[in-house]
Structure 1
Amino acid sequence: MNKLRIVLADDHGVLRDGLTLLINAQPDMEVVACARGGREAVQLAEQWSPHVLVLDISMPDLGGAEATEQIRQRCPHVRILALTRYADQGYLRRLLNAGASGYVLKRTAGEALIDAIRVVAEGGSYVDPTLAGGLVARMTTAASAQRDAPVHAGELSERETQVLRLIAWGQSNKEIAAQLGISVKTVESYKATALEKLQLRSRTDILRYALACNWLNEDGGPE
């Protein structure tokens, strides 16, 4: 079985060793390298091309948001999962806007971290449950404040709209492909085209757009 390649970046040795043992105990995962700082994390992302890079957002030489932006620029296929002790909406939004696919609190790490790795590796997004409610509430407020702004849903094709709606509902690329009967690469192509048309960049932008379109208030989710 091909295992998920994981790079782990954290400047605390004891925590790093403990998380390595936890991840390597999973039958479908393997820590292939560890970084002690943000710059080393960027280098290891280029060297190992991992499926997921678990990244502490507070490191001595390069912060998590800056490291995330560099990794996304140099290795756009690498999924980044932020791991932190900061239960702060500001940090969360900054990391998501920088390109992280998930955000997990260290105090809830364990099974939550393993679940989050699997979710982001499959193309989905993961936000620690203790923070998810606040994020949605803030985006709902922002969307309400922009109700008068035009929403150009008509610019998207039917398939692009389907893909974007399913992403907003938290489905991974693999799940979307299975539901729509298309390949994962085709899902990624529709997503990229939709984002370009709407001039959206991050998952936060997608959620905000979905809220403005009232997609998240539909009973039962997307068809």
Structure 2
Amino acid sequence: MSQGADKIRVALVDDQPLFRGGIRMLIESQPDMTFVGEASDGRQAVALAATIQPDVILMDVRMPGVDGLEATREIVARGIQSRILVLTTFDLDEAVAKAVAAGASGFVLKDADPEFLLAAVRTVYSGAGVFAAQATAELIRKFSESPGRLGGEPEAFQQLTEREREMFFLAAKGLSNGEIAKQEFLSEATVKTHISRVLAKLELRDRVQLVVYAYEHGLI
């Protein structure tokens, strides 16, 4: 395998040099990953994303100046296809919840085991979402109680078939493709196809955005 070929291109945004150095060494130790850049604040992060377009960006949520939340919003708004994995010190962080709503593909705790962080990078790269397990329920509760929650079915949602709606609600409750397949007596490939169609019709990036969509619109 040539340098960088078929590898997950990872960038890191964090204001602590020591932390950046440790993560860089961790990423570079993996045969399926390559470290392509780092930034110390949100402004640099947007420039890095636009220039290098990493596959996955590890984004600290709290930084001086432009923070990770604002950087995430800007990167998504520009249509940059990098997946953003937010790093947080706290199990529950309102800023992280807002970052996920803005387009981040999930989050992990900064003190997570190295193997968990690496697995999270691979998971986000594959198109799935990652939540720190202890924070999932509380994060979803925050979305459901958000003052900005919208009521009624959006027009796009009304275009889903009955089967696609079933898939939507099961995915929104956090079930994996395998769990949905078992419950609905379908193959995982069929479930994956349905979910892909749902995401396309609703113009959502991934399953994380599907969950956010469901709660923001009061669908569950």
Q: Number of residues paired by the alignment?
A: 200
1:73 counterpart = 2:77? yes
Instruction: Say whether the 8 Å CA contact 2:143–2:216 is kept in structure 1.
Output: no
**Which residue is 1:220 aligned to?**
none
**Which residue is 1:191 aligned to?**
199
**Which residue is 1:104 aligned to?**
108
CA RMSD after TM alignment: 3.4
Deviations 1:133-162 (A, max 9, x none): 32244556x49xx9xx65576531256436
Instruction: Say whether the 8 Å CA contact 2:160–2:198 is kept in structure 1.
Output: no
Instruction: Say whether the 8 Å CA contact 2:60–2:87 is kept in structure 1.
Output: yes
Deviation at 1:209, TM superposition (A): 7.2
For residues 35 and 61 of structure 1, the distance between their equivalents in structure 2, rounded to whole angstroms, comes to 13
Q: How does 1:113-132 map to 2 (within 5 A)?
A: 113-132=117-136
Deviations 1:162-207 (A, max 9, x none): 66356433658xxx996128779x92x64131358xxxx9444235
TM-score with structure 2 setting the length: 0.75
Instruction: Say whether the 8 Å CA contact 2:41–2:68 is kept in structure 1.
Output: no
**Which residue is 1:49 aligned to?**
53
**Which residue is 1:179 aligned to?**
189
Instruction: Say whether the 8 Å CA contact 2:55–2:125 is kept in structure 1.
Output: yes
Deviation at 1:88, TM superposition (A): 2.6
Of Structure 1 and Structure 2, which has the larger fraction of its residues in helix?
Answer: 1
For residues 48 and 170 of structure 1, the distance between their equivalents in structure 2, rounded to whole angstroms, comes to 34
**Aligned with 1:59: secondary structure?**
coil
**Aligned with 1:101: secondary structure?**
coil
Comparing 163-172 and 98-107, the one that deviates more: 163-172
User: Which amino acid in structure 2 is aligned with residue 119 of structure 1?
Assistant: T
Percent identical among aligned pairs is 30
For residues 109 and 35 of structure 1, the distance between their equivalents in structure 2, rounded to whole angstroms, comes to 23
Q: How does 1:1-223 map to 2 (within 5 A)?
A: 1=1, 2-138=6-142, 142=145, 155-158=159-162, 160-161=164-165, 164-165=168-169, 167-168=171-172, 169=174, 171=176, 179-180=189-190, 187=196, 190-195=198-203, 202-208=209-215, 212-213=219-220
Deviation at 1:87, TM superposition (A): 2.8
**Aligned with 1:69: secondary structure?**
helix
Alpha-carbon spacing, 1:206–1:106, altered in 2? closer, same or farther (3 Å): same
**Which residue is 1:219 aligned to?**
none
Instruction: Say whether the 8 Å CA contact 1:164–1:194 is kept in structure 2.
Output: no
Instruction: Say whether the 8 Å CA contact 1:45–1:71 is kept in structure 2.
Output: yes
Instruction: Say whether the 8 Å CA contact 1:139–1:211 is kept in structure 2.
Output: no
Deviation at 1:85, TM superposition (A): 1.2
Alpha-carbon spacing, 1:159–1:49, altered in 2? closer, same or farther (3 Å): farther
User: Which amino acid in structure 2 is aligned with residue 35 of structure 1?
Assistant: A
TM-score with structure 1 setting the length: 0.74
